[in-house]
Amino acid sequence: MKKYACLKSIASYIPTRCVKNSEFEKSLDTSDEWIRKRTGIQTRYFASKEQNTSDLGVEAAKVALERSGFQASDIDLVIVATLSPDYLNMPSTACLISAKLGIRNKPAFDISTACSGFIYLLSLAKAFIESDAYKNILIIGAEKVSSVLDFTDRGTCVLFGDGAGAAVITSTTDKNNSILDVHISADGSYHDFLFTPRATRQSEFMQENCISQYLQMKGNETFKLGVKTLISDVEEILQRNNISSTQVDFFIPHQANLRIISAVGEQLNFTSEQVVITVQKYGNTSAASIPMAMNDIYESGKLKNGDLILLDAFGGGVTWGSALLHFGG
Ligand code: ACO
């Protein structure tokens, strides 16, 4: 019988330190009013000094496992998407999370696709399950973006937050409970729109010719390209699956900027009940933003088994992607 991939559970972890826009007013030429008006962001959460990305990811993963009904020993593969790994190149954050969960002798690796991370994770999990390579896959989007932020750059540091989201993807024969379609893409010619010269433990590795070790972004250019790409990407996946926007229960776009979400939502005729918005609370948590938003509607009791969800993301690389799935939890 044909195997399909089912998103069985969703969970998130939010660090405890809530940072209001007004905190940035103390050290930067910015204001709560500017940040709210231009981005929709009101608060974000930052991890403590002691917490690394893997610590955030493991907390989300524990809850996702519990909600899936599986034990850590049932997991065949762990994949993590992050732009803020604990270590620069190795070991991967996925290996660290596997170890913390007690998962041994199972493959684990990271992917680097910035804010599109969760869509890329779904694409990989779907392919591995449909080809019968693995049965139960733990996917995690985890970010300590604060570790790569330049807190003197008002153009970037007010936009991002830390957090993690995790899901267990499992094999099913029920197509009506499965991930129907995932589309991923990239265009490296825009690589300089968003980049981090060095990763988390950057100061140890900084090169003399490295201008800054922190995340840098051409905000306005990214904004315009993001809106255009997200709209055409959603139109394409809906068309390919012969689905109209009215049939979608929840549209969960990447949470970077309320103006981007509104522009995309309006252009595609989604109602405010369909569009999930969490950017005001969490800021942009990169690869964690979509699973964190999905977990919000799950925990509020709105998301039900079988609901049709549309996901869409755009991020550094540049990368983008969309996914259409029935919630299987
Ligand atoms: N407070 C006050 N003023 C500010 C701030 C701030 N925090 N940040 C920028 N400004 C100023 C600029 O310096 C500029 O001033 P100037 O006109 O004197 O030069 C002015 O505001 C306008 O700047 P813009 O960059 O044109 O502002 P814009 O309306 O484009 O908003 C923003 C900036 C919020 C960054 C927006 O462009 C954006 O959201 N971009 C997209 C982000 C995104 O989608 N990223 C993709 C995913 S992220 C990932 O993959 C990791």
pLDDT of 205 reads 46
Asked if 151 and 10 sit in the same domain, the reply is yes
Total tally of structural domains belonging to the chain? 2
Q: Verify that 158 and 236 share a domain, yes or no.
A: no
167, 139 contact by CB (below 8 A):
yes
pLDDT single digits (tens) 251-263: 999 999 999 999 9
Mean pLDDT of 91-103: 98
Show which of 156, 174, 192 is a domain's final residue: 174
Residues 51-76: pLDDT tens digits? 999 999 999 999 999 999 999 999 99
Q: In this predicted structure, what is the pLDDT of residue 88?
A: 83
Q: What percent of the chain has pLDDT over 70?
A: 95
Amino acid 212: pLDDT: 62
- Cβ–ligand 1 distance for 178 under 6 Å, the answer no
What residue numbers bound the domain in which 123 lies?
Answer: 4-174
Which protein residue has the closest C-alpha to ligand 1 atom 7? Answer: 154
Residues 238 and 252 in one domain: yes
CA geometry: angle at 141 spanning 137 and 145, to 5°?
A: 160
Q: What is the pLDDT of residues 224-236, one digit of tens each?
A: 999 999 999 999 9
Q: Is 291 in the pocket of ligand 1 (CB under 6 A)?
A: no
DSSP state of 62: H
Residues 15, 84 within the same domain: yes
pLDDT band of residue 199 (cuts 50, 70, 90) is very low
Final residue before a domain boundary, out of 144, 174, 204:
174
> Which residue among the candidates 21, 52, 136, 254 is catalytic per the annotation?
254
What is the CA(38)–ligand 1 centre distance, in A? 7
115 is catalytic: yes
Last residue of a domain, one of 174, 193, 208: 174
Confidence of residue 164 (pLDDT cuts 50, 70, 90): very high
Q: Is residue 210 domain-shared with residue 154, that is, in the same domain?
A: no
Average model confidence (pLDDT) across the chain: 94
With a 6 A CB cut-off, is 264 part of the ligand 1 pocket?
no
Ligand 1 site, residue 64, Cβ cutoff 6 A = no
226 within ligand 1 shell (Cβ under 6 A): yes
Query: What per-residue confidence (pLDDT) applies to 202?
Result: 43
Q: Annotated catalytic, 176?
A: no
Question: Residue 166 carries which DSSP code?
Answer: E
**71 and 117 belong to one structural domain:** yes
Taking residue 155's Cβ as centre, other Cβ atoms within 10 Å add up to 14
| CATH code, 195 | 3.40.47.10
Q: Ligand 1: which atom is nearest the Cα of residue 35?
A: 7
Coil vs helix vs strand at 266: helix
Q: Is residue 87 over pLDDT 80?
A: yes
- pLDDT over threshold 90, residue 203: no
The mean per-residue pLDDT over the stretch 153-169 comes to 97
Handedness of CA 279, 281, 284, 289 (dihedral sign): negative
Q: What is the largest CA-CA distance in the chain?
A: 61
89 band by pLDDT with thresholds 50, 70 and 90: confident
305 and 211 housed in the same domain: yes
Mean pLDDT over 34-51 rounds to: 97
Q: Whose CA is nearest to atom 22 of ligand 1?
A: 220
Looking at residue 288, its pLDDT comes to 98
What backbone phi and psi angles, to 5 degrees, belong to 200?
-40, -60
Task: Please check whether residues 226 and 320 belong to one and the same domain.
Answer: yes
DSSP letter at 284?
A: B
Residue 1 CA to residue 256 CA, distance in Å, equals 40
Dist. CA 155 → ligand 1 center (Å):
5
Residue 198 — very low, low, confident or very high, per pLDDT cuts 50/70/90? low
- CA gap 198, 200 in Å, rounded: 7
User: Does position 139 have pLDDT exceeding 70, yes or no?
Assistant: yes
d(CA 97, CA 162): 17
The answer on 109 and 85 residing in a single domain is: yes
Whether residues 247 and 116 share a domain: the answer is no
Output the pTM of the full model.
0.95
For residue 108, pLDDT over 50 is answered with yes
* Span 269-297, average pLDDT: 97
Task: State whether 122 and 83 are in the same domain.
Answer: yes
Statement to judge: residues 161 and 192 lie in one domain: no
